[in-house]
Every structure is written in C-alpha cells, then in structure tokens.
Amino acid sequence: MKGMTIIVKTVSSWVKVLIFLFGINIILFGHLTPGGGFAGGVILAASYVLLMLAFGRDFAEKNLSLTAASQLDCVGALMFAAVALVGLLYGAASFFWNLIHQQYLADKATEFKLVSAGIIPLCNIAIGLKVGASLFLVILTLSICCKDFKHSTPSTKE
Amino acid sequence: MPYALCFLLFTIGLYCAVVKKNMVKIVIGLAVMEYAVNLFLIMLGYRVNGTAPIVDKTYYDSSTHQVTADFLNAAVDPLPQALVLTSIVIGLGTLALMISISIRIYEKYGTFDITEIRKLKG
Amino acid sequence: MSDIPLMLPAFVCIPLVAAFLLPIFGSFGRKGGALTTAVANLATLSLLVMSIASINQFSVYNVGKWSIPLGINMVLDGLTVFFLITVNLVSSAAMLFSVRYMEQYTAKPKYLTLFMLMVAGMNGVVVTGDLFNLFVFLEIASIASYALVGFGCDDEQLEASFKYMVLGEVGSMLVLLAIGLEYGVTGALNMAYISKAVQNNPTNIVLNFALAMFIAGFGLKAALVPFHSWLPDAHSSAPAPISAMLSGILIKVLGVYALLRTIFSIFGISSAVGTLLVVLGVVNMIAGAFLAIGQGDLKRLLAYSSISQVGYIFLGIGLGGVLLTADANPMWATLAILGSLFHLLNHAVSKSLLFLTSGSVEMATGTRQLGQLGGLAEKLPLTRASCAVASASIVGIPPFGGFWSKLILVVAAIGAGIYWAAALIVAVSVCTLIMYLKVHRYVFLGEPSETRRQIKESRGTMAVAMICLACLCVLLGLVFLVPTIRAELLDPAAKVLCDGVKYADKIMEVTRI
C-alpha cells in the first residue's frame, strides 16, 4: 500500500501526534470524564492507522512491527490481570478488590482529582494499551490480505 | 413505541443476514442486527428529561460523601450503558473476524457468492 | 474450606493469564514453542485438579467485595461442579492430544492461545452467577471457537467457519435481546434477583417472550433441530482436538448448561416448557440418527451422531421437567434428570475420544472418507481399541458407562408411565448401533490398500490421551455401581435442578451472612 501526496504527509505528521495525545488524555481521565480505556485505545489505534494511510503500510510496519504490537497486546492484558490479582495477595483479600481506594485513600477527600478512585486508572491504562495495540494489529493484518490478492489471479471457482 | 422501531431494525438485519447471497451483505446484516440490540439496551435506561449520569461538583456533597438526591432523580440509568460498551467491544471482535474470514474465502474461491461456496454437502 | 472461595476466580484467571503469556513465549523460537506447550498443559491439568477438589462444596464468591446486586458473584453449587469436571477433563485430554497433532499446522502458539481462551470462556459460563456475565463469557468461548474451526485455512474450513460464525452470532444476538427484555421488566441482572422478580409476576408477556428468545438463542448454540445446520460442517472441518472440544463440551456448556440455568433456576420449569424440550429432544434424536447413517465422511457421521445424543439429554430433562410440574412422585423426575446428566458426562467423554481417534486415523492416512479407508485394524491397534470402547459406550453396551445412563432414562420413562419414550430410546440406540458398526466395518476391517503399508500407530502424547479417555469410559460404567461417587457427584447436580427456583433463596441466604 503506497502513501499519499506530500500535502497529506506533512499535515498528517503533525496531526497524528495530536490524536495520540488526545487518546492518552481520554485514557488517563477515564474515571472523571466519559471515555475510559476502550475509547482511548481506539483513538490510539486511529493515530497509527492515519500513519499507515498517509505514509504507506511498510513505513507503519517499520514503526511498530507485528510482533511488537502483539507483545504490547499481551503486556496490556497481563498488566490488567496483575492489577486484579494484587487484591488477592493482600490481607482480607478478594479478586479485583479496589485495594488502593479502600486501604489508602478512603480517609482522604480525593474525589474529582486525577489521582483517585483506586485501581480504576490503572485498569484504564492497561485496557487502553491492549485495545490500541490489538486494533492496530487487526487493521495491519487485514491490509496484508488486501495487498496479496491484488497481484494474484483469483482461484478457479469450485 | 421507540422499542418497536428497534425490533424493526432487528428484523431488517435478520432478513439481510438470512436472505442475501453476497457474503459482505450478510456481514453487514449481522452488524445492523447487533447495533439494533445495542440501541434497544440503551433505550431501556432512558428517563424523560434526564441528564447524563456523570457526577461533578454540583451534584456532590463533600460533607457526607454522597451524591445529591436530585442527581439520582434526574440522571438516566448508567447500567445499560456499561452493558452496551461491553457489547460494542464484542461486536468489534466478531466483525473483525468475519471480515478476515470473508477475505480469505475470496482468495480461495474467487467469489463472494455463497451459493457457489458449497464444497461441504450432505 | 477457607481456600475454596479463592479457587472460583482461579478457574477463569488461570486460563486467561496462560493465554496471554503464550504469545510472549512463542516468539522465542523452538525452545519457546516447547515452553508454551508445557505451560498450556500445566494450566489445563491444574484446572482439572482444582475442579476435582471442589466436589461437594457450595460457596458464593463476591468479586471485588461488592455484594449483589451491585456486583457480580460467582457461585459453586452441585451443577457447577459437575460441569467443571466435564469441561476440564475433556480439555486436558484434548490439550495432551494436540501436542503431537498440531505439529501438522503452523502457528502453534496462536492455536494454544485460542484454546486457552475457549477453556476460560467455558469455565466462566459455568461459574458465574450473573446473566450478563454469562453472555460475555459465552461470547469469549464462541469467538475463540469460530477462529479455531477455521484454523487450517483450507477452503472447507473457512467455509464451515463462516457458516458457523453467522449462525452463532444470530444466536448470541437473540440471547442479548432476551437479556435486554428481562432487564427492562425486572431491573436486575443477577440470577437470584431475576428469579425473585419472575416469581413475583409469573404471567408477564414480555418475560415469556424473553424466555422464548433464550430457548431459541441457547438452542442454536446447542444445535437443536431447526438450528442444527452449522454443526456437521463445523465439527467435521475443524482440527481433531477442536472437534472433540466442540462436540464434547462446547455445545453442552454453552447450550445445555445455559438453558438449564435459565429454565430451572431463573424462570422455573413449567409443563409447557417441559413438553417443548421433550418434543425438541425427540426430533433431534430421530433426525440425527437417520441423517448419520447415510454419511460418507467419518467426522460428519460423528457430528450427526452428536446431534442425536444431545436429543437424548433434552428428552431426559424435558421428561424430568414435565414430571416435576405434574405433581407426581418426584422420584421419577429426579431419576430422569440424573440419567440425562450422566448421559451428558458419558457422551462428552466418549464422543471426544471418538473424534480424537478419527484425528489419529486422519493423521496416519490423510483422508476422512469412509470409502477410501479400510483395513487399518492391524496397523493402528490402539486407535481401533479406543474407537471400539468409545462406540460401545455411546451405543449402550454393558458394562460401559453409556449403558447405565440409557438404562436410567428407560427406567424413569417406564416408571412414570410414558412408555413411548422408553421404546423410542431403545429404537434410536439400535440405529446408533447400526451407524457405529458401519464406522468399524469401513475404517478398520477389510483389506488395506497398497499405499497404506507404511502407516504407523500414533505415538507419544496422542496415545496417552486416547488411553486415558478409554480407561475413563470403562471406569464410568464401573464406578456408577459404587454409590458414594454417585452421591457425591451426580446427586447434588440433579438436586440443584429439581430444587429449581430455590436457588435464589440459597444465594440470598448466603450473602446475608
């Protein structure tokens, strides 16, 4: 998949950074404003898709390769599992227990601030990482399929 | 009455998934069916003249650490919104898998027409 | 007893963590490949050990310490333990088998990841106590199975996967619509709370419509007869251990278990629903048996036989439901339900063993068509013996396990005075005998052709998995005569179903403490 004209390349090289930053904003403030992990992750993936559309698939693949995206995906899921399991190891334990909020922050009045609501921002970050990486992986893989069959003749029917 | 329109959309999607012969149209029919069910779920939580269920400082009483009563009376139900979020993610995964299988079938068979993709019979 | 509650989230957590660790190890090359297989096998075996350790326990676990109805709870009662043991048993055996079998395919770490996700989804469906959580886990297991059916990316596998996927998604959408309808009426998603609300208004039209949608949606997953057309294609085109998992446990967990929970514990059995289940079961039995006899493809014949045996399970459950609501002696109802649950366990073990042996045959000879096989008896003796044991168990020859479960169903039918059901069970067993005699005659007896002189018996973990399942088929028949195992495993499961809506009282009483 080839890239686009010089105007599109220049503008999108500025805009994709803004989109990426916006995605990080939606993830980090997920417990205060609408959005959260999944929506922010989709926006992160969208910034990489813009990179792929404007500069060509090979450039995007050199930027974040298939194996690197797959490993980021797994790291995001394992981070989420680690956050959930930490509640088990603590004293009066429970799976997925919001331990930071109940243990450390329960007395302080920390509503509506960035550092509040316990494990929820950590879960949001893990999900945002995972969703962003896996959506980018999906679109990259689909574009591999498109690339191949344009050059080959379709197989005979039945 | 808006629920009837959701069911109409659901039946349109079901008709499209069952009757049409092009694989991409079947996938689109399934997507329409999925969005109809999501729309139905969101409409369940609606309250007339309701506000968005987001708490900010005007609705919050810092002394008792509780939300105010008029927030509870005015906000729409946030639980169906959480259900729909999950359902949209599931729909995304399903759609991605279906599209990639359709592309691979096109590579192997050369056509999107399901009446010609009939190697498995009996 | 204090670490029993900690085991409940582990049933879901262990396969999920294993599923996401595997691609990281898999990118390290060949040594990484061996490590991934070892991790996956360890995970399934540990799940099996944990599910055996939880026999005869009852516990409720509130995730995140949020009590219901604010949070989600996980429930471990008799039915759950029974299904957990079935699921983890078959998945450990299939995982052992696929160590050698999947060497034929590339991308083995991806296969193991999808397999672990399917196991996590099935365990989650069985363990959860919340209806929407059941839907989420059902979707996880279904999507993993759609990808696994088309894993080899041949023409037939992709076509079967697409057909399975479209029909499966229609079923899931029906289930989600039904969940939305009942949330609109009752305002609760937890199974205990929904049950209380349904008992309070029993003749609500919207709730009955939601029940009909549940039966349609879960019935599509269980391959009930108007919706069975995906099953022969999907189960015959999938790789052999995946066919074993799909036919042995997936249609039962996603279809039969979800229907049992919804009908018995949430909505409460009524005679109309019981009669419907009986009718559907009878149609399944007859249609599956007749369509199977004429098949020319080995795995397609086994798939149609699965449809027939699922019909037995629904016939038993429907009979039990009708007898429970008819105010008759509850002994026959309990016996019918016990018979169908035991038949579910027997069928899971023997059908998965049959699919594993068909995979062994396919790996040795390269074909599945009955017309081209033949004379494999002296080349593949272990496969032949396992196939004989498994088919004897399904047909119902004493002393194998299937004989006892069919005997219980016949005794329950005769004792309740429903003689035509008993006659039908025996008649369809005769048809089943015909179809498996056909399998043996075409595959194993006769003269081998010239090109087949060099094939060898399957070795290593494939042989271990087949021997374990074959021993289990024999043991299930013998241990049934030992009453303590029957009392520990089967009676609590049947009791949960016969108690019906008292499930809600039990859950609420535990969470008040």
Judge whether C408 lies within some domain.
Answer: yes
Which one of C16, C20, C65 has the shortest CB-CB distance to A97? C65
Instruction: Domains for chain B: give ranges and CATH numbers.
Output: 2-116 (1.10.287.3510)
**Residues from B in contact with C at Cβ < 8 Å:** 10, 14, 17, 23, 26, 30, 33-34, 37, 40-41, 44, 79-80, 83, 86-87, 90, 93-94, 97-98, 101-102, 104-105, 108-109, 117-120, 122
Confidence at A111, pLDDT banded by 50, 70, 90: low
Say whether pLDDT at A154 is over 60: no
Inside any domain, residue C70: no
Residue C308 belongs to some domain of the structure: yes
Collect all residues of chain B within an 8 Å Cβ-Cβ radius of residue C189: 79
Q: Which residues pair with B66 in a beta bridge?
A: B61
Least confident range of C89-98, C341-350, C419-428, C455-464: C455-464
Residue C273 lies in a domain: yes
State the average pLDDT over residues A27-38: 87
Q: Answer whether C206's CB lies under 8 Å from B50's CB.
A: no
**C151: helix, strand or coil:** coil
Mutation pick from B51, B56, B87 vs chain A, by most beta carbons of A within 10 Å, is B56
| Residue C170 to residue C176: CA distance in whole angstroms | 10
Residue C65 or residue C169, greater confidence: C169
Q: What is the pLDDT of residue C453?
A: 61
Given a contact cutoff of 8 angstroms between Cβ atoms, the answer to whether C300 and C232 are in contact is: yes
Closest CB from C146, C177, C232 relative to B10: C177
Residue B68 is predicted with a pLDDT of 75
Q: How many helices (DSSP H) and strands (DSSP E) are in chain B?
A: 4, 2
pLDDT in tens, B40-94: 999 988 888 787 887 777 776 666 667 777 777 788 888 898 899 999 999 999 9
- Give contacts of B35 with chain C, Cβ < 8 Å: none
pLDDT of residue A153: 43
Closest Cα partner for B95 from B42, B47, B29? B29
> How much is the pTM?
0.92
Burial letters A88-109, b for 16+ CB under 10 A, else e: beeeeebbbbbbbeeeebeeee
> Judged by CB atoms within 8 Å, which residues 5-24 of C form the interface with A?
6, 9, 13, 16-17, 20-21, 23-24
Which of C114, C140, C157, C158 to substitute to test the interface with B, most B CBs within 10 Å?
C158
The pLDDT tens digits for A64-107 are 888 888 889 999 999 998 888 877 766 556 667 666 666 665 65
Task: For B13, name the nearest residue in chain C, comparing CA atoms only.
Answer: C170
For A127, name the nearest residue in chain B, comparing CA atoms only.
B89
**Angle at which helices C298-325 and C419-443 pack, to 10 degrees?**
170
What pLDDT was estimated at residue C1? 35
Q: Please tell me the predicted confidence (pLDDT) of residue A17.
A: 92
What H or E segment, with its residue span, contains residue B60? Answer: strand B60-61
Would you state the pLDDT for residue C259?
92
Domain boundaries, chain A: 6-151
For chain C, the residues whose C-beta falls within 8 A of a C-beta of chain B are 132, 136, 139, 143, 146-147, 150, 153-156, 158-162, 165-166, 169-170, 173, 176-177, 179-180, 183-184, 189, 232-233, 236-237, 294-297, 300
In a domain, C234, yes or no: no
Average pLDDT, chain C: 84
Which chains have 3+ CB pairs within 8 A of A? B, C
Contact between C259 and C171 (Cβ < 8 Å): no
Residue C425 lies in a domain: yes
Residue C458: pLDDT band by 50, 70, 90 thresholds?
A: low
C102 domain-assigned: no
In terms of pLDDT, which residue wins out, C312 or C477? Answer: C312
Contact C218, C255 (CB under 8 A): yes
Q: How many domains, in total, are found in chain C?
A: 1
Structural domain contains residue C14: no
pLDDT number for residue C455: 66
Most A-contacting residue of C4, C12, C14, C24 (CB-CB within 10 A), to test interface: C24
pLDDT at C148 exceeding the cut of 70: yes
- Provide the domain limits for residue C471: 269-481
Q: What is the pLDDT of residues C294-330, one digit of tens each?
A: 877 888 889 999 999 999 999 999 988 888 887 667 8
